[in-house]
Chains A and B, each alone.
Chain A
Amino acid sequence: MAVLLLAEVTDGTLNMDATAKAVTAAKALGDVTLLCTGESCAGAAEEAAKIDGVEKVLCAEDALYGHRLAEPVAALIVDLAGDYSHICAPATTDAKNILPRVAALLDVMVITDVSGIVDSDTFERPIYAGNAVQKVRSKDATKVISIRTSTFDAAPAGGSAQVETIGAGTALGLSEWVEDKVAESDRPDLTSAGIVVSGGRGIGSEENFEIVEKLADKLGAAVGASRAAVDSGYAPNDWQVGQTGKVVAPDLYIAVGISGAIQHLAGMKDSRVIVAINKDEEAPIFQVADYGLVGDLFELVPELTEKL
């Protein structure tokens, strides 16, 4: 069986972590061909070729694919689809945007956020904010699936796949890119960090979020947030962890001033060790925490930062 896997490439740069984790899942399904697209992506394709288990890399370089707009990228994948039994991608916002479009054009169902591969047509995925796990068997000729990266280990380096350049499709003229607002940060990426420190509504203000950031920096951690913290303007949207934000599974997750709503737990309950700091000992976050500390975060977090 042959698998086409859309590599995660943003502005010419390969997201190695997300792509290599998806390769691990895809390898279980068949021979993996990686597809890199972008205005320029030869560099990303060279990088991707080194992932162990990748048989071939296709590189589609064209201004058309510059910002990974769904319509042209989906059309490209549909053009290539005939050669593959499975079309996969890591479940990033890019893939969530593109893959259902691909599936509809192929008249097949999409299977999103797959957390387990049972066999070549049977998959597990969380539903109801992770309160249940559903096992589904696809009857479609082509399986289109996005892969929840937090449940797969990254495929190691060591491959030396061939890179083949392919031509671009025709422009559809449906949408155009206007602007990206991306915050530059020296911190590790939220979805691949070994340690994540997240703040919730309890932090109280954007200024106070520094308490969380200082602890994160002491630990070399990424910073996350609850929806309430993002909605209140304490933290940017791309820090949101949960059912509708990012799914993380670090070695250590520290939740500060977060109550532990089911929608938040959906994004972090597979972390290896969970620490909760909250002044309310009844807060549901303590039910999933390995270590809970009850008290005022404004005293405890600076003390913790100092003692680490």
Chain B
Amino acid sequence: MKVLVPVKRVIDYNVKVRVKSDGSGVDLGNVKMSMNPFDEIAVEEAIRLKERGAAEEIVVVSIGVKQAQETLRTALAMGADRAILIVASDDVHTDIEPLGVAKLLKAVIDEEQPGMVLCGKQAIDNDMNATGQMLSALLGWSQATFASKIEIEGEHATVTREVDGGLQTIKVKMPAVVSVDLRLNEPRYASLPNIMKAKKKPLDEKTPGDYGVDVAPRLEIVSTSEPEARKAGILVGSVDELVDKLKNEAGVI
């Protein structure tokens, strides 16, 4: 089975986000960018499937700016076999919407015919949590979102999902789109020799036009603003003082 893993280049999760003063967006110039943390987990899971003999080839795909090459190289260094970069913009501030991403991924999948897609549950920049579900719909495949455990048995996968009430286990028909949650695994670091080897692995470059897909946005971004700041609080010196404040000042107990 071939496994396809879409990986997104996003602001590193440790970076303090700054909203541009003109309200046009978040400042992404000269900030550290990394692979979306959920996508690292998806790549790791694909590698483990391969190590277990359940997958033969891992193809990673990224859609965005040319610099997403770095993200793909990271995935190749972790253990993916081949990469496809779809250059859809030359401005790092342009985010291709999940619907456009899903359409492009569908076009890639029509060519590549993978037996499974493993994607992240959510990109930590737009926090959309949508692409996997949209892709599954366009393909007419089954979907299993927020996976914390995946077992593949022949024509089916049994997936445990993290849901509001606790955990839900479902059995999906393959091929399927599975979106991964944080507790599925701990992604590995790429070793130096593997980083060197990754430089020689194939990385194909494409454009949305190659697939005949229109990625024009459906949502116009009117403005981006800072959330309302909380006003500074105080330190209290004792439990008694805290109880007093909660009762008599805040009136919450």
Contacts and interface: CB of A to CB of B under 8 A. Distances in A.
A71 interface: yes
Contact of B125 (A70, A108, A128, A130): A128
Given A174-B142, A237-B148, A252 B246 contact: yes
A99 B99 CA distance: 12
Contacts of B164: 92-94, 191, 238, 246
Contacts of A272: 252
A133 B172 contact: no
B224 to A, nearest CB: 5
A103 B182 contact: no
B122 interface: yes
Nearest to B218: A109
A166 interface: no
B145 interface: yes
A132 B19 contact: yes
Given A70-B143, A103-B134, A178-B158, A128 B124 contact: yes
A139 B39 CA distance: 29
Nearest to A302: B239
A100 B183 contact: no
Interface in A160-200: 173-183, 191, 195
A100 B98 contact: yes
Interface centre among B176, B243, B246, B252 (most CB of A within 10 A): B252
Nearest to A178: B169
**How large, as a class, is the contact surface on chain B?**
35 or more
A153 interface: no
A173 to B, nearest CB: 7
Given A110-B130, A303-B239, A133 B224 contact: yes
A132 B26 contact: yes
B245 interface: yes
Contacts of A178: 158, 169-171
B253 A252 contact: yes
Interface in A95-154: 96-105, 107-113, 122, 125-140
Interface in B234-248: 234-236, 238-240, 242-243, 245-246
Nearest to B136: A101
B67 to A, nearest CB: 19
Contacts of A67: 168, 170
Contact of A290 (B162, B222, B233): B233
A273 B246 contact: yes
Interface in A42-82: 67, 69-71, 74
A211 interface: no
B31 to A, nearest CB: 11
Contacts of B162: 93, 237-238
A94 B163 CA distance: 8
A291 interface: yes
A88 to B, nearest CB: 15
Contacts of A125: 127
Contacts of A29: none
B142 A238 contact: no
Interface string B162-186: 1111111111110010000111000
Interface string A243-277: 11010000110000000001100000100111100
B246 A139 contact: no
A127 B234 contact: no
B179 to A, nearest CB: 9
30 contacts: A10-B165, A67-B170, A70-B145, A93-B146, A97-B146, A98-B133, A112-B129, A122-B222, A127-B125, A128-B11, A128-B26, A128-B125, A131-B17, A136-B222, A139-B218, A178-B171, A179-B169, A180-B167, A181-B167, A182-B166, A195-B252, A230-B183, A237-B166, A238-B165, A251-B252, A269-B227, A288-B233, A290-B250, A291-B246, A303-B239
